[in-house]
A and B are shown apart, each in its own frame.
Chain A
Amino acid sequence: MEKFINAAPVRRHSVIRSYAIRILSLVIFVFLWYETVDSNVLWPLQFGNLPSPVDVFEAWLGYLTQTHYYKDIGISTIRVTTGIVLGLVTAVPLGLWIGLSRFAKDALFTNLEVFRPIPLIAYLPVAMLLFHTIEGSIIFITFIGAFFPILINVKDAAGRVPTSLLQAASCLGCGPIRALWRVYLPAMLPEISTGLSVGVAASWMGVITGEMMSGQSGIGYSTWQAYHLLDYKQSIIGMFTIGALGYASSALVRLTERRIVRWK
Protein backbone atom coordinates (compact mmCIF):
# COMPACT_ATOMS: atom_id res chain seq x y z
CA MET A 1 0.00 0.00 0.00
CA GLU A 2 2.80 2.38 0.85
CA LYS A 3 4.19 2.03 -2.64
CA PHE A 4 1.00 3.48 -4.11
CA ILE A 5 0.84 6.35 -1.69
CA ASN A 6 4.29 7.46 -2.67
CA ALA A 7 3.81 6.77 -6.40
CA ALA A 8 3.15 10.34 -7.52
CA PRO A 9 6.13 11.93 -5.86
CA VAL A 10 8.32 9.07 -7.04
CA ARG A 11 7.20 9.52 -10.64
CA ARG A 12 7.72 13.27 -10.52
CA HIS A 13 11.12 12.73 -9.06
CA SER A 14 12.13 10.37 -11.81
CA VAL A 15 10.89 12.80 -14.48
CA ILE A 16 12.96 15.62 -13.02
CA ARG A 17 15.89 13.26 -12.81
CA SER A 18 15.46 12.30 -16.44
CA TYR A 19 15.45 15.90 -17.66
CA ALA A 20 18.39 16.75 -15.42
CA ILE A 21 20.43 13.96 -16.95
CA ARG A 22 19.49 15.05 -20.48
CA ILE A 23 20.56 18.65 -19.91
CA LEU A 24 23.67 17.51 -18.16
CA SER A 25 24.65 15.25 -21.05
CA LEU A 26 24.30 18.14 -23.51
CA VAL A 27 26.40 20.34 -21.29
CA ILE A 28 29.04 17.62 -21.07
CA PHE A 29 29.06 17.29 -24.85
CA VAL A 30 29.63 21.02 -25.35
CA PHE A 31 32.25 20.98 -22.62
CA LEU A 32 34.12 18.08 -24.25
CA TRP A 33 33.97 19.88 -27.56
CA TYR A 34 35.39 23.00 -25.98
CA GLU A 35 38.12 21.14 -24.15
CA THR A 36 39.32 19.05 -27.08
CA VAL A 37 39.57 22.13 -29.27
CA ASP A 38 41.18 24.26 -26.61
CA SER A 39 43.75 21.59 -25.77
CA ASN A 40 44.34 20.96 -29.47
CA VAL A 41 43.69 17.25 -29.19
CA LEU A 42 44.80 15.59 -32.41
CA TRP A 43 44.54 11.93 -31.54
CA PRO A 44 42.56 9.68 -32.12
CA LEU A 45 40.63 12.28 -34.15
CA GLN A 46 41.79 15.76 -35.09
CA PHE A 47 39.50 17.60 -32.69
CA GLY A 48 41.98 20.44 -32.58
CA ASN A 49 40.99 21.43 -36.11
CA LEU A 50 37.45 22.18 -35.15
CA PRO A 51 36.34 25.66 -34.20
CA SER A 52 35.48 26.20 -30.58
CA PRO A 53 31.83 26.03 -29.57
CA VAL A 54 32.08 29.54 -28.23
CA ASP A 55 33.15 30.89 -31.63
CA VAL A 56 30.53 28.88 -33.40
CA PHE A 57 27.81 30.13 -31.14
CA GLU A 58 28.96 33.72 -31.53
CA ALA A 59 29.02 33.45 -35.31
CA TRP A 60 25.60 31.84 -35.29
CA LEU A 61 24.13 34.67 -33.28
CA GLY A 62 25.57 36.95 -35.92
CA TYR A 63 23.92 35.03 -38.72
CA LEU A 64 20.53 35.26 -37.12
CA THR A 65 20.44 38.91 -38.08
CA GLN A 66 21.73 38.47 -41.61
CA THR A 67 19.36 37.99 -44.49
CA HIS A 68 21.61 35.65 -46.47
CA TYR A 69 21.20 33.01 -43.77
CA TYR A 70 17.45 33.06 -44.10
CA LYS A 71 17.71 33.30 -47.85
CA ASP A 72 19.71 30.09 -47.96
CA ILE A 73 17.24 28.36 -45.68
CA GLY A 74 14.37 29.64 -47.79
CA ILE A 75 15.86 28.43 -51.06
CA SER A 76 16.52 24.95 -49.75
CA THR A 77 13.09 24.74 -48.16
CA ILE A 78 11.39 25.75 -51.38
CA ARG A 79 13.32 23.10 -53.27
CA VAL A 80 12.36 20.43 -50.79
CA THR A 81 8.73 21.47 -50.75
CA THR A 82 8.56 21.41 -54.52
CA GLY A 83 10.09 17.97 -54.62
CA ILE A 84 7.69 16.66 -51.99
CA VAL A 85 4.62 18.09 -53.69
CA LEU A 86 5.69 16.62 -57.00
CA GLY A 87 6.41 13.34 -55.27
CA LEU A 88 2.98 13.21 -53.66
CA VAL A 89 1.14 14.17 -56.81
CA THR A 90 2.83 11.45 -58.85
CA ALA A 91 3.36 8.70 -56.30
CA VAL A 92 -0.17 8.55 -54.87
CA PRO A 93 -2.08 7.93 -58.12
CA LEU A 94 0.69 5.73 -59.45
CA GLY A 95 0.87 3.72 -56.24
CA LEU A 96 -2.88 3.31 -56.29
CA TRP A 97 -2.82 2.08 -59.86
CA ILE A 98 0.06 -0.33 -59.29
CA GLY A 99 -1.56 -1.58 -56.11
CA LEU A 100 -4.89 -2.31 -57.78
CA SER A 101 -4.06 -3.30 -61.32
CA ARG A 102 -2.18 -6.45 -62.13
CA PHE A 103 -1.27 -5.00 -65.48
CA ALA A 104 0.15 -1.84 -63.97
CA LYS A 105 2.10 -3.86 -61.45
CA ASP A 106 3.72 -6.00 -64.13
CA ALA A 107 4.31 -3.15 -66.52
CA LEU A 108 5.51 -0.43 -64.22
CA PHE A 109 6.72 -1.88 -60.99
CA THR A 110 9.59 -3.85 -62.47
CA ASN A 111 11.08 -0.68 -63.87
CA LEU A 112 10.57 1.19 -60.66
CA GLU A 113 12.13 -1.58 -58.62
CA VAL A 114 15.28 -1.23 -60.68
CA PHE A 115 15.58 2.41 -59.75
CA ARG A 116 14.45 2.25 -56.16
CA PRO A 117 17.66 1.03 -54.51
CA ILE A 118 19.78 3.70 -56.20
CA PRO A 119 21.02 6.20 -53.60
CA LEU A 120 19.95 9.75 -54.33
CA ILE A 121 23.40 11.05 -54.85
CA ALA A 122 23.96 8.55 -57.65
CA TYR A 123 21.19 10.19 -59.64
CA LEU A 124 23.13 13.42 -59.85
CA PRO A 125 25.13 12.83 -63.06
CA VAL A 126 22.05 11.68 -64.96
CA ALA A 127 20.01 14.51 -63.49
CA MET A 128 22.59 17.04 -64.63
CA LEU A 129 22.47 15.64 -68.14
CA LEU A 130 18.70 15.45 -68.33
CA PHE A 131 17.86 18.84 -66.97
CA HIS A 132 18.38 22.15 -68.62
CA THR A 133 19.15 23.94 -65.40
CA ILE A 134 20.98 22.99 -62.22
CA GLU A 135 17.87 24.00 -60.33
CA GLY A 136 15.91 21.43 -62.27
CA SER A 137 18.37 18.68 -61.47
CA ILE A 138 18.31 19.50 -57.75
CA ILE A 139 14.55 19.49 -57.62
CA PHE A 140 14.58 16.21 -59.50
CA ILE A 141 16.69 14.72 -56.73
CA THR A 142 14.33 15.94 -54.03
CA PHE A 143 11.44 14.55 -56.04
CA ILE A 144 13.04 11.12 -56.26
CA GLY A 145 13.68 11.22 -52.54
CA ALA A 146 10.01 11.72 -51.78
CA PHE A 147 8.65 9.59 -54.61
CA PHE A 148 9.73 6.09 -53.72
CA PRO A 149 8.76 5.91 -50.04
CA ILE A 150 5.31 7.32 -50.81
CA LEU A 151 4.88 4.99 -53.78
CA ILE A 152 5.71 1.86 -51.82
CA ASN A 153 3.45 2.78 -48.94
CA VAL A 154 0.53 3.64 -51.18
CA LYS A 155 0.94 0.50 -53.24
CA ASP A 156 0.82 -1.69 -50.15
CA ALA A 157 -2.02 0.25 -48.59
CA ALA A 158 -4.20 -0.04 -51.70
CA GLY A 159 -4.36 -3.78 -51.33
CA ARG A 160 -5.12 -3.54 -47.64
CA VAL A 161 -8.26 -1.46 -47.85
CA PRO A 162 -10.95 -3.72 -46.34
CA THR A 163 -13.21 -5.26 -48.96
CA SER A 164 -16.24 -4.69 -46.76
CA LEU A 165 -15.70 -0.93 -46.95
CA LEU A 166 -15.60 -1.05 -50.73
CA GLN A 167 -18.67 -3.25 -50.87
CA ALA A 168 -20.49 -1.01 -48.43
CA ALA A 169 -19.70 2.00 -50.61
CA SER A 170 -20.93 0.09 -53.63
CA CYS A 171 -24.23 -0.66 -51.93
CA LEU A 172 -24.55 3.00 -51.06
CA GLY A 173 -24.34 3.98 -54.69
CA CYS A 174 -20.64 4.72 -55.00
CA GLY A 175 -19.22 3.67 -58.35
CA PRO A 176 -15.73 2.13 -58.62
CA ILE A 177 -14.11 5.30 -59.98
CA ARG A 178 -15.67 7.47 -57.33
CA ALA A 179 -14.55 4.98 -54.73
CA LEU A 180 -10.91 5.79 -55.52
CA TRP A 181 -11.43 9.27 -54.18
CA ARG A 182 -14.09 8.56 -51.59
CA VAL A 183 -12.93 5.30 -50.06
CA TYR A 184 -9.40 4.34 -51.05
CA LEU A 185 -7.76 7.69 -50.46
CA PRO A 186 -9.16 8.38 -46.98
CA ALA A 187 -8.57 4.79 -45.98
CA MET A 188 -4.92 5.06 -47.01
CA LEU A 189 -4.18 8.36 -45.31
CA PRO A 190 -2.23 6.82 -42.40
CA GLU A 191 0.03 4.97 -44.81
CA ILE A 192 0.44 7.99 -47.05
CA SER A 193 1.48 9.89 -43.98
CA THR A 194 4.09 7.28 -43.09
CA GLY A 195 5.44 7.41 -46.62
CA LEU A 196 5.50 11.17 -46.43
CA SER A 197 7.56 11.15 -43.22
CA VAL A 198 10.20 8.98 -44.80
CA GLY A 199 9.98 10.93 -48.05
CA VAL A 200 10.53 14.26 -46.35
CA ALA A 201 13.70 13.04 -44.67
CA ALA A 202 14.95 11.61 -47.94
CA SER A 203 14.12 14.81 -49.78
CA TRP A 204 16.19 16.85 -47.37
CA MET A 205 19.09 14.51 -47.85
CA GLY A 206 18.65 14.90 -51.58
CA VAL A 207 18.57 18.66 -51.59
CA ILE A 208 21.63 19.03 -49.44
CA THR A 209 23.54 16.54 -51.57
CA GLY A 210 22.46 18.25 -54.77
CA GLU A 211 23.41 21.66 -53.46
CA MET A 212 26.77 20.52 -52.24
CA MET A 213 27.67 18.80 -55.46
CA SER A 214 26.43 21.18 -58.06
CA GLY A 215 24.38 23.93 -56.55
CA GLN A 216 25.04 27.61 -56.33
CA SER A 217 22.69 28.57 -53.54
CA GLY A 218 20.94 27.15 -50.55
CA ILE A 219 22.01 26.02 -47.12
CA GLY A 220 23.77 22.89 -48.40
CA TYR A 221 25.77 24.96 -50.81
CA SER A 222 26.71 27.51 -48.12
CA THR A 223 27.78 24.78 -45.75
CA TRP A 224 29.99 23.16 -48.35
CA GLN A 225 31.29 26.43 -49.75
CA ALA A 226 32.23 27.59 -46.26
CA TYR A 227 34.51 24.59 -45.96
CA HIS A 228 36.30 25.51 -49.17
CA LEU A 229 36.64 29.08 -47.98
CA LEU A 230 38.08 27.81 -44.69
CA ASP A 231 35.15 29.25 -42.76
CA TYR A 232 34.65 26.18 -40.60
CA LYS A 233 32.36 27.93 -38.20
CA GLN A 234 29.85 28.38 -40.96
CA SER A 235 30.15 24.74 -41.92
CA ILE A 236 29.21 23.64 -38.46
CA ILE A 237 26.42 26.16 -38.20
CA GLY A 238 25.16 24.97 -41.56
CA MET A 239 25.25 21.39 -40.34
CA PHE A 240 23.14 22.10 -37.31
CA THR A 241 20.80 24.31 -39.27
CA ILE A 242 20.16 21.50 -41.73
CA GLY A 243 19.50 19.17 -38.83
CA ALA A 244 17.03 21.60 -37.33
CA LEU A 245 15.24 22.02 -40.66
CA GLY A 246 14.94 18.27 -41.08
CA TYR A 247 13.57 17.93 -37.59
CA ALA A 248 11.09 20.74 -38.14
CA SER A 249 9.83 19.11 -41.35
CA SER A 250 9.28 15.77 -39.62
CA ALA A 251 7.49 17.51 -36.78
CA LEU A 252 5.28 19.30 -39.27
CA VAL A 253 4.35 16.04 -40.96
CA ARG A 254 3.55 14.47 -37.62
CA LEU A 255 1.40 17.43 -36.68
CA THR A 256 -0.55 17.32 -39.94
CA GLU A 257 -0.95 13.59 -39.54
CA ARG A 258 -2.43 13.97 -36.11
CA ARG A 259 -4.81 16.61 -37.36
CA ILE A 260 -6.00 14.75 -40.43
CA VAL A 261 -5.95 11.25 -39.07
CA ARG A 262 -7.81 12.05 -35.87
CA TRP A 263 -10.05 9.11 -36.39
CA LYS A 264 -7.55 6.31 -36.04
Chain B
Amino acid sequence: MYVDISDVTKQYETGAGNRVNVLQDISMSIGEAEFVCILGPSGCGKSTLLKLIAGLEQPSRGMITFNNEQRNGSSTECGFIFQDYALFPWLTVKDNIRFGLQMQKMPRKRQQEIVEEYLLRFGLADAALLFPKQLSGGMSQRVAIARALCLKPKLLLMDEPFGALDAILRQKLQEEVGRIWTKEKITFILVTHDVEEAIYLADRIIVMTPGPGQIKQTVHVDILRPRIRTNSDFVELRSRLMGLLHDGEAQEPHPQELRQNLYTQPHARLSNVR
Protein backbone atom coordinates (compact mmCIF):
# COMPACT_ATOMS: atom_id res chain seq x y z
CA MET B 1 0.00 0.00 0.00
CA TYR B 2 1.37 3.36 -0.99
CA VAL B 3 0.76 6.19 1.40
CA ASP B 4 0.98 9.72 0.14
CA ILE B 5 0.96 12.61 2.53
CA SER B 6 0.73 16.03 0.89
CA ASP B 7 1.00 19.37 2.64
CA VAL B 8 -0.65 18.19 5.76
CA THR B 9 -1.16 20.67 8.54
CA LYS B 10 -2.81 19.95 11.85
CA GLN B 11 -4.08 22.69 14.10
CA TYR B 12 -5.44 22.57 17.57
CA GLU B 13 -7.40 25.20 19.36
CA THR B 14 -6.04 26.09 22.75
CA GLY B 15 -8.38 27.21 25.48
CA ALA B 16 -7.78 30.90 24.87
CA GLY B 17 -9.10 30.63 21.34
CA ASN B 18 -5.65 30.58 19.85
CA ARG B 19 -4.69 28.12 17.23
CA VAL B 20 -1.48 26.22 17.48
CA ASN B 21 0.06 24.31 14.59
CA VAL B 22 1.08 20.91 15.79
CA LEU B 23 2.15 19.86 12.33
CA GLN B 24 2.98 22.01 9.35
CA ASP B 25 3.41 21.25 5.67
CA ILE B 26 4.18 17.61 6.09
CA SER B 27 4.74 15.85 2.78
CA MET B 28 6.09 12.39 2.29
CA SER B 29 5.48 9.10 0.57
CA ILE B 30 5.73 5.63 1.93
CA GLY B 31 6.06 2.60 -0.26
CA GLU B 32 5.23 -1.06 -0.02
CA ALA B 33 6.86 -3.15 2.67
CA GLU B 34 8.99 -0.26 3.84
CA PHE B 35 10.07 0.21 7.41
CA VAL B 36 9.85 3.90 8.13
CA CYS B 37 10.77 5.55 11.39
CA ILE B 38 9.56 8.96 12.34
CA LEU B 39 12.20 10.30 14.65
CA GLY B 40 11.99 13.41 16.75
CA PRO B 41 12.01 14.79 20.27
CA SER B 42 8.93 14.98 22.46
CA GLY B 43 6.35 17.42 21.27
CA CYS B 44 7.27 17.45 17.61
CA GLY B 45 3.90 16.08 16.59
CA LYS B 46 5.07 12.65 15.50
CA SER B 47 2.33 10.84 17.41
CA THR B 48 -0.21 13.21 15.89
CA LEU B 49 1.11 12.43 12.43
CA LEU B 50 0.71 8.74 13.12
CA LYS B 51 -2.86 9.26 14.25
CA LEU B 52 -3.57 11.21 11.08
CA ILE B 53 -2.26 8.36 8.99
CA ALA B 54 -4.39 5.93 10.99
CA GLY B 55 -7.45 8.05 10.40
CA LEU B 56 -8.01 8.59 14.11
CA GLU B 57 -7.77 12.30 13.48
CA GLN B 58 -8.30 14.43 10.42
CA PRO B 59 -5.79 16.94 9.02
CA SER B 60 -6.73 20.61 9.17
CA ARG B 61 -5.24 21.09 5.72
CA GLY B 62 -3.77 18.78 3.15
CA MET B 63 -4.50 15.24 2.21
CA ILE B 64 -3.46 11.71 2.98
CA THR B 65 -4.15 9.11 0.33
CA PHE B 66 -3.79 5.37 0.34
CA ASN B 67 -3.12 3.91 -3.09
CA ASN B 68 -4.38 7.22 -4.42
CA GLU B 69 -7.65 6.94 -2.57
CA GLN B 70 -8.80 9.08 0.27
CA ARG B 71 -10.15 7.46 3.35
CA ASN B 72 -12.69 8.60 5.88
CA GLY B 73 -11.87 7.74 9.43
CA SER B 74 -10.02 4.71 10.70
CA SER B 75 -10.03 1.36 9.01
CA THR B 76 -8.71 -2.06 9.72
CA GLU B 77 -6.16 -1.62 6.96
CA CYS B 78 -4.05 0.33 9.42
CA GLY B 79 -3.08 -1.64 12.47
CA PHE B 80 -2.15 0.57 15.40
CA ILE B 81 0.04 -0.24 18.36
CA PHE B 82 -0.41 2.28 21.13
CA GLN B 83 2.15 3.45 23.58
CA ASP B 84 0.37 1.68 26.43
CA TYR B 85 -0.68 -1.16 24.10
CA ALA B 86 -4.37 -0.46 24.86
CA LEU B 87 -5.17 -4.08 25.51
CA PHE B 88 -8.73 -4.55 26.71
CA PRO B 89 -8.27 -5.34 30.39
CA TRP B 90 -11.51 -7.27 30.71
CA LEU B 91 -10.57 -9.72 27.97
CA THR B 92 -8.08 -12.55 28.05
CA VAL B 93 -5.15 -12.61 25.64
CA LYS B 94 -7.15 -14.91 23.40
CA ASP B 95 -10.22 -12.68 23.37
CA ASN B 96 -8.14 -9.58 22.84
CA ILE B 97 -6.70 -11.08 19.70
CA ARG B 98 -10.13 -12.26 18.67
CA PHE B 99 -11.70 -8.80 19.04
CA GLY B 100 -11.01 -7.56 15.53
CA LEU B 101 -12.13 -10.83 14.01
CA GLN B 102 -15.41 -10.62 15.89
CA MET B 103 -15.93 -7.14 14.50
CA GLN B 104 -15.69 -8.60 11.04
CA LYS B 105 -18.45 -11.10 11.78
CA MET B 106 -16.24 -13.99 10.84
CA PRO B 107 -17.64 -17.46 11.54
CA ARG B 108 -16.62 -18.70 14.98
CA LYS B 109 -14.65 -21.63 13.78
CA ARG B 110 -12.56 -19.52 11.48
CA GLN B 111 -11.96 -17.04 14.31
CA GLN B 112 -10.74 -19.89 16.48
CA GLU B 113 -8.33 -21.06 13.80
CA ILE B 114 -6.82 -17.65 13.21
CA VAL B 115 -6.47 -16.91 16.91
CA GLU B 116 -4.69 -20.21 17.50
CA GLU B 117 -2.39 -19.55 14.58
CA TYR B 118 -1.39 -16.18 15.94
CA LEU B 119 -1.05 -17.40 19.51
CA LEU B 120 1.47 -19.94 18.29
CA ARG B 121 3.22 -17.57 15.97
CA PHE B 122 3.85 -15.04 18.70
CA GLY B 123 4.64 -17.54 21.41
CA LEU B 124 1.51 -16.73 23.39
CA ALA B 125 -0.03 -20.19 23.53
CA ASP B 126 0.63 -20.57 27.25
CA ALA B 127 -0.68 -17.12 28.02
CA ALA B 128 -3.94 -17.49 26.10
CA LEU B 129 -6.14 -17.37 29.17
CA LEU B 130 -4.28 -14.70 31.09
CA PHE B 131 -5.56 -11.18 31.56
CA PRO B 132 -3.50 -8.16 30.46
CA LYS B 133 -2.71 -7.21 34.03
CA GLN B 134 -0.92 -10.52 34.45
CA LEU B 135 1.32 -10.02 31.44
CA SER B 136 4.87 -8.75 31.28
CA GLY B 137 5.75 -5.78 29.07
CA GLY B 138 7.13 -7.96 26.32
CA MET B 139 4.10 -10.22 26.25
CA SER B 140 1.75 -7.26 26.20
CA GLN B 141 3.51 -5.96 23.15
CA ARG B 142 3.23 -9.29 21.42
CA VAL B 143 -0.47 -9.46 22.17
CA ALA B 144 -0.99 -5.95 20.83
CA ILE B 145 0.88 -6.79 17.65
CA ALA B 146 -0.89 -10.13 17.21
CA ARG B 147 -4.22 -8.43 17.73
CA ALA B 148 -3.47 -5.91 15.00
CA LEU B 149 -1.79 -8.27 12.57
CA CYS B 150 -4.41 -11.01 12.57
CA LEU B 151 -6.63 -8.64 10.62
CA LYS B 152 -3.99 -8.66 7.89
CA PRO B 153 -3.63 -4.88 7.66
CA LYS B 154 -1.64 -3.27 4.87
CA LEU B 155 0.10 -1.00 7.32
CA LEU B 156 1.26 -1.30 10.91
CA LEU B 157 1.64 1.89 12.88
CA MET B 158 3.48 1.94 16.18
CA ASP B 159 3.49 4.85 18.57
CA GLU B 160 6.63 4.64 20.75
CA PRO B 161 5.80 1.07 21.74
CA PHE B 162 8.97 0.58 23.76
CA GLY B 163 8.54 3.71 25.82
CA ALA B 164 8.11 2.34 29.30
CA LEU B 165 10.51 -0.58 29.13
CA ASP B 166 14.02 -1.08 30.46
CA ALA B 167 17.00 -1.02 28.10
CA ILE B 168 17.52 -4.77 27.90
CA LEU B 169 13.90 -5.51 27.15
CA ARG B 170 13.82 -2.67 24.65
CA GLN B 171 16.55 -4.21 22.59
CA LYS B 172 14.97 -7.62 22.72
CA LEU B 173 11.63 -6.28 21.57
CA GLN B 174 13.22 -4.17 18.86
CA GLU B 175 14.75 -7.35 17.49
CA GLU B 176 11.36 -9.02 17.64
CA VAL B 177 9.70 -6.22 15.76
CA GLY B 178 12.42 -6.43 13.13
CA ARG B 179 11.81 -10.15 12.77
CA ILE B 180 8.05 -9.69 12.56
CA TRP B 181 8.47 -7.08 9.85
CA THR B 182 10.73 -9.33 7.83
CA LYS B 183 8.18 -12.10 8.07
CA GLU B 184 5.00 -10.09 7.46
CA LYS B 185 6.39 -7.97 4.62
CA ILE B 186 4.04 -5.08 5.12
CA THR B 187 4.80 -1.42 5.73
CA PHE B 188 5.71 -0.55 9.29
CA ILE B 189 5.73 3.02 10.49
CA LEU B 190 7.33 3.45 13.89
CA VAL B 191 7.37 6.65 15.86
CA THR B 192 10.22 7.04 18.33
CA HIS B 193 12.60 9.44 20.04
CA ASP B 194 15.33 6.84 20.24
CA VAL B 195 17.97 7.32 17.55
CA GLU B 196 19.48 3.86 17.86
CA GLU B 197 16.09 2.25 17.65
CA ALA B 198 15.42 4.10 14.43
CA ILE B 199 18.73 3.12 12.87
CA TYR B 200 18.35 -0.47 13.97
CA LEU B 201 14.94 -0.97 12.42
CA ALA B 202 14.27 1.48 9.61
CA ASP B 203 14.86 1.63 5.88
CA ARG B 204 14.21 5.30 6.06
CA ILE B 205 14.26 7.73 8.94
CA ILE B 206 12.20 10.87 8.79
CA VAL B 207 13.65 13.39 11.17
CA MET B 208 11.21 15.88 12.62
CA THR B 209 11.65 19.03 14.60
CA PRO B 210 9.15 20.57 16.95
CA GLY B 211 7.36 23.87 17.22
CA PRO B 212 5.51 23.41 14.83
CA GLY B 213 6.26 19.87 13.79
CA GLN B 214 8.03 19.78 10.47
CA ILE B 215 10.15 17.34 8.55
CA LYS B 216 13.74 18.35 8.77
CA GLN B 217 15.27 15.65 6.65
CA THR B 218 14.82 12.17 5.38
CA VAL B 219 17.73 9.82 5.89
CA HIS B 220 18.12 6.49 4.17
CA VAL B 221 19.61 3.68 6.14
CA ASP B 222 21.67 1.60 3.77
CA ILE B 223 23.23 -0.67 6.35
CA LEU B 224 22.73 -4.35 5.73
CA ARG B 225 20.53 -6.22 8.17
CA PRO B 226 20.95 -7.58 10.79
CA ARG B 227 22.41 -4.34 12.02
CA ILE B 228 24.99 -4.23 14.74
CA ARG B 229 24.89 -1.27 17.06
CA THR B 230 28.62 -1.15 17.59
CA ASN B 231 29.62 -1.23 13.93
CA SER B 232 31.23 1.88 12.54
CA ASP B 233 28.54 2.56 9.95
CA PHE B 234 25.89 2.38 12.65
CA VAL B 235 27.80 4.68 14.96
CA GLU B 236 28.50 7.12 12.16
CA LEU B 237 24.89 7.37 11.22
CA ARG B 238 23.98 7.88 14.84
CA SER B 239 26.36 10.81 15.11
CA ARG B 240 24.94 12.24 11.95
CA LEU B 241 21.40 12.00 13.19
CA MET B 242 22.27 13.39 16.59
CA GLY B 243 23.89 16.26 14.74
CA LEU B 244 20.73 16.85 12.76
CA LEU B 245 18.76 17.01 15.92
CA HIS B 246 21.22 19.11 17.84
CA ASP B 247 20.95 21.61 14.99
CA GLY B 248 23.02 24.72 15.26
CA GLU B 249 25.16 23.71 18.20
CA ALA B 250 28.92 23.54 17.78
CA GLN B 251 30.01 20.49 15.85
CA GLU B 252 33.31 20.10 17.67
CA PRO B 253 33.03 17.67 20.50
CA HIS B 254 33.27 19.12 23.95
CA PRO B 255 36.27 17.82 25.94
CA GLN B 256 33.77 16.15 28.27
CA GLU B 257 32.24 14.34 25.31
CA LEU B 258 35.64 13.24 24.06
CA ARG B 259 36.28 11.53 27.35
CA GLN B 260 32.86 9.88 27.28
CA ASN B 261 33.42 8.55 23.77
CA LEU B 262 36.23 6.40 25.01
CA TYR B 263 33.62 4.13 26.53
CA THR B 264 30.69 2.57 24.71
CA GLN B 265 27.90 5.05 24.98
CA PRO B 266 24.58 3.58 25.95
CA HIS B 267 21.36 4.46 24.11
CA ALA B 268 21.55 7.92 22.69
CA ARG B 269 18.49 9.69 23.98
CA LEU B 270 16.91 12.67 22.39
CA SER B 271 15.84 13.92 25.77
CA ASN B 272 19.35 15.32 25.88
CA VAL B 273 18.74 17.33 22.76
CA ARG B 274 16.44 19.97 24.17
Contacts and interface: CB of A to CB of B under 8 A. Distances in A.
Interface of A: 162, 164-165, 167-174, 178, 182-183, 186-187, 189, 261-264
A178 B148 contact: no
Given A187-B90, A263-B133, A264-B89, A170 B84 contact: no
Contacts of A261: 90
Contacts of B86: 162, 164-165, 167-168
Given A164-B82, A167-B86, A172 B99 contact: yes
Contact of B74 (A171, A178, A189): A171
Contacts of B87: 168
15 contacts: A164-B83, A165-B86, A167-B82, A168-B82, A168-B87, A171-B54, A171-B56, A171-B78, A171-B80, A183-B88, A186-B91, A189-B90, A263-B91, A263-B132, A264-B133
A176 to B, nearest CB: 10
B147 interface: yes
Given A171-B80, A171-B148, A186 B88 contact: yes
B100 interface: yes
Contacts, number: 66
Nearest to B80: A171
A164 B163 CA distance: 15
A218 B122 CA distance: 60
A263 B147 CA distance: 19
B181 interface: no
Contacts of B76: 171-173
A229 to B, nearest CB: 52
A172 B147 contact: yes
A49 B83 CA distance: 69
A166 B117 CA distance: 26
Contacts of B84: 162, 164
A172 B76 CA distance: 5
B131 interface: yes
B3 to A, nearest CB: 15
Contacts of B148: 171-172
B89 A263 contact: yes
B125 to A, nearest CB: 20
Interface residues of B, number: 29
Contacts of A162: 84, 86
Contacts of A172: 76, 99-100, 103, 147-148, 151
B261 to A, nearest CB: 39
A253 to B, nearest CB: 18
Contacts of B40: none
Interface string B80-113: 1011101111110000000110011000000000
Interface string B56-79: 100000000000000001111011
Contacts of A165: 86, 88
Nearest to A185: B90
A146 B263 CA distance: 67
A261 B220 CA distance: 49
B133 A169 contact: no
B88 A171 contact: no
B239 to A, nearest CB: 35
A182 B90 CA distance: 10
Nearest to A186: B90
A25 to B, nearest CB: 39
A263 B91 CA distance: 8
Contacts of B88: 165, 168-169, 183, 186
B270 to A, nearest CB: 23
A160 to B, nearest CB: 13
B183 to A, nearest CB: 21
B56 A167 contact: yes
A172 B75 CA distance: 7
B145 to A, nearest CB: 12
A183 B100 CA distance: 13
Contact of B104 (A164, A170, A173, A183): A173
Interface in B130-158: 131-133, 147-148, 151
A167 B74 CA distance: 9
Contacts of A173: 75-76, 100, 103-104, 151
Contacts of A168: 80, 82, 86-88
A189 B83 CA distance: 24
Contact of A263 (B56, B80, B82, B131): B131
Nearest to B89: A263
Nearest to A176: B73
A261 B91 CA distance: 11
A178 B103 CA distance: 9
Given A169-B88, A172-B103, A172-B147, 16 more contacts: A162-B86, A165-B86, A170-B56, A170-B74, A171-B76, A172-B76, A172-B100, A173-B75, A173-B100, A174-B103, A182-B99, A183-B88, A186-B88, A186-B91, A187-B89, A263-B132
